[in-house]
Amino acid sequence: MESAAKKCVQWGIALIVAGGFVLVLLPPLLGLLAEAVGPSASIGVGAIELLAGLIRWALIPMGTTLIGAAVVIRVLAPELQRSSETQPSGR
């Protein structure tokens, strides 16, 4: 596998796993944080919730996009290599 495709797959899997952890584990942790801190820190907990929502909506789609890019690289790389071998070198 090409190094670019391999890196895309590795990063894609890492982002999907991290997104899954954020999706599953972060809401209960935020609930515990809100209970522990009390109503005085509702703005901070709200900001963390907003940031967590952005992370949830970004990590998994970005990971799947990287895996899709790896598939495209894997399909197109042999074509690019073949086309560069058939072109004259210019000398």
Other CB atoms closer than 10 Å to residue 45's CB: what's the count? 17
Positions of E strands within 3-90 = none
Q: Return d(Cα 64, Cα 27) in angstroms, integer.
A: 23
For the chain, which residues make up each domain, given as ranges?
A: 3-83
pTM above 0.75, yes or no: no
pLDDT 10s digits, 7-61: 999 999 999 999 999 888 888 888 888 888 778 777 888 888 888 888 888 999 9
User: How does residue 88 score in pLDDT terms, banded at 50, 70 and 90?
Assistant: low
Tokens encoding 3 = 């190094």
